[in-house]
């Protein structure tokens, strides 16, 4: 089990997903910050403020897990040195800056709520830095050294995680706040509105995830099929550029070996968000209890996260050494 967890890069699985979830959550909060710019809405403000409380803990979890991947975590700061050419160094810069900026953004929401224009300026910068952090994460894996990852679907899958996990995390925070920090009567309309937006975002995320995953699976399968018709590629005797086919063949073989993980990824990572979006639409249409909707969202967050963790672990498992 320990070896499997190491091969699946559990620390990087948690790190990448939690940072992506935080970036997604941040964008949701920033958009809601901007949406009520012309029509002040104190209830929405209260929800957004509580929503910002999840940002620092989520990023902190990601950053802590990132250091467990290192052989000498005490020297982790040295990774800032080589931003000129190293995407990993750029990732550490971007993630560190994102962490600092969300701390400022959260502080502004909680301690200087009246300074809205400055907060939004910080918010835009934070959103851009966070998005750049996700790009750097994808670029780290888009390398010829691991042909199984060296494909545009890597970026698409990472963006899909931003679109799915972030809004779900914020919606769960809203659910928690409603009835505890914001009265049931005051908050109901805002929560219902947020559920409609959540449904649309989840559908967009699920489509993005589906496109990315289909592209990735097709990429590996096509490479594997090509290896079958290339002398030596189903072993260790392909030559030159043909050796990439051997790598894709290995990636596809690992994916087949862990077909249950792919199934879980599809069902929980794509199917469940779509199901939740449809369920929320139907429940709200019939005026169903908000408590039921909130319970569904919280349960979905847990299950979708499980699906995404599984999918990301499979991503790492397929990137096996090929020579």
Partner 1 sequence: MTTTQKGFHADMEKCIGCKCCEAACKDFYRMPPEIRWRKVRSFEMGEFPSALRVHLSLACNHCEDPACMKGCPVEAYTKRGKDGLVIHDPTACIGCQYCTWTCPYGVPQFDPEQGVVSKCNGCYQRIDEGLMPKCVESCLTGALTFGEVDQHAATQRQVVKEAPGFPDPSITNASTRFAWPLKGPQPERQLPIAPPKDGEKHG
Interface with partner 1 by CB under 8 A: which residues? 69-73, 75-76, 78-82, 85-89, 92, 140-141, 143-146, 232, 235-241, 243-244, 246-247, 319, 321-323
Residues whose CB falls within 8 Å of the CB of residue 100, separated by 6 or more in sequence, listed in order: none
Nearest distance from C-beta of residue 237 to partner 1, angstroms:
4
Residue 99 sits at the vertex; the CA angle it makes with 97 and 101, to the nearest 5 degrees, is 70
Q: Which H helix or E strand runs over 286?
A: none
178 pairs with which residues across the strands?
A: 182
Q: Which is nearer to partner 1, 58 or 79 (CB)?
A: 79
- Give whichever of 15 and 18 is closer to partner 1, judged by the CB atom: 15
Nearer to partner 1, 253 or 298 (CB): 253
Tokens of 266: 């599809």
Distance from the Cα of residue 266 to its chain's centroid: 15
Mention every residue, 6+ apart, whose C-beta is less than 8 A from residue 315. 149, 154, 157
Cβ at position 231, least distance to partner 1 in Å: 8
Q: Which is nearer to partner 1, 25 or 233 (CB)?
A: 233
Query: How many angstroms separate the CA atoms of 172 and 50, rounded?
Result: 11
Angle at 296 between CA 292 and CA 297, to 5 degrees: 120
Shortest approach of partner 1 to residue 244 CB, angstroms?
A: 7
Q: What is d(CA 297, CA 195) in angstroms, rounded to the nearest whole number?
A: 9
Distance separating alpha carbons of residues 278 and 263, to the nearest angstrom: 21
Min CB(315)–partner 1 separation in Å: 13
Output the DSSP codes for 189-226: HHHHHHHHHHHHHHHHHHHHHHHHHHHHHHHHHHHHHH
With respect to partner 1, which residue has the nearer C-beta, 40 or 144? 144
| DSSP character at residue 8 | T
* Residue 78: CB minimum distance to partner 1, A: 4
CB of 153 to partner 1, least distance (A): 17
The residue (of 148 and 182) whose beta carbon lies closer to partner 1 is 148
Residues 6 or more apart in contact with residue 23 via CB below 8 angstroms: 98, 127, 130, 131, 133, 134, 162, 166
Distance of CA 208 to the CA centre of its chain: 12
Q: State the nearest-atom distance from the C-beta of 50 to partner 1, in Å.
A: 36
Which is nearer to partner 1, 90 or 216 (by Cβ)? 90
* Comparison of 240 and 287: residue with beta carbon closer to partner 1: 240
Q: How far is the CB of 18 from partner 1 (least distance, A)?
A: 18
Name the residue nearer to partner 1 (CB basis): 140 or 215.
Answer: 140
DSSP letter for each residue of 160-184:
HHHHHHHHHHHHHHHHHHBTTTB-H
The C-alpha atoms of residue 168 and residue 179 are separated, in whole angstroms, by 19
Closest distance between partner 1 and the C-beta of residue 8, in Å?
14
How many other CB atoms sit within 10 Å of the CB of residue 233? 23
């Amino acid at each position: 089990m320990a070896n499997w967890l190491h091969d699946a890069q559990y620390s990087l699985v948690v790190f990448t997903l939690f940072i992506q979830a935080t970036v997604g959550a941040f964008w949701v909060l920033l958009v809601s910050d901007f949406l009520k710019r012309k029509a002040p809405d104190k209830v929405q403000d209260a929800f957004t403020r509580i929503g910002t409380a999840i940002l620092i803990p989520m990023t902190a979890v990601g950053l802590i897990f990132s250091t467990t991947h290192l052989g000498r975590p005490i020297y982790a700061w040295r990774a800032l040195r080589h931003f000129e050419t190293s995407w990993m160094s750029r990732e550490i810069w971007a993630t560190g800056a994102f962490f600092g900026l969300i701390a400022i953004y959260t502080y502004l929401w909680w301690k200087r709520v009246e300074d809205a224009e400055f907060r939004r300026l910080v918010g835009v910068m934070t959103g851009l830095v966070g998005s750049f952090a996700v790009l750097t994460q994808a670029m780290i894996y888009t390398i010829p050294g691991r042909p199984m990852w060296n494909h545009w679907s890597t970026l698409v899958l990472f963006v899909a995680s931003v679109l799915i996990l972030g809004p779900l995390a914020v919606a769960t925070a809203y659910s928690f706040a409603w009835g505890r920090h914001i009265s049931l009567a005051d908050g109901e309309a805002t929560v219902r509105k947020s559920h409609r937006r959540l449904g649309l975002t989840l559908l967009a995320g699920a489509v993005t995830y589906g496109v990315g995953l289909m592209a990735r699976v097709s990429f590996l399968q096509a490479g594997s099929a090509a290896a079958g018709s290339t002398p030596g590629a189903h072993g260790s005797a392909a030559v030159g550029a043909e050796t990439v086919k051997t790598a894709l063949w290995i990636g596809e073989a690992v994916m087949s070996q862990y077909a249950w993980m792919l199934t879980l990824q599809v069902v929980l990572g794509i199917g469940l968000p779509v199901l939740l979006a449809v369920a929320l639409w139907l429940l709200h249409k019939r005026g169903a209890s908000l408590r039921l909707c909130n319970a569904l969202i919280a349960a979905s967050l847990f299950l979708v996260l499980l699906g995404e963790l599984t999918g990301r672990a499979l991503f790492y498992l397929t990137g096996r050494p090929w020579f």
